[in-house]
Amino acid sequence: MIKLFSATNCVSSRKMKQWLIANKLEFREIVILENSLQKKDILRILSLTEKGAEEIISKRSLIYKKLSLKIDFESLTTNELIDLITQNYKLLRRPLLMDEHRLQVGYNEDEIRKFLPRSVRQIELGRAIENVRLWDEEEKHHFAI
Nearest-5° Cα angle at 63, 57 to 66:
115
Q: Which of 4, 5, 7, 10 is catalytic?
A: 10
Residues with Cβ within 8 Å of 46's Cβ and at least 6 positions away in sequence, in order, are: 52, 53, 56, 78, 81, 82
Is 31 marked active-site?
no
Closest CA to 105 of 62, 142, 55, 71: 55
Closest CA to 32 of 88, 76, 109, 80: 88
What are the residue numbers of the active site? 10
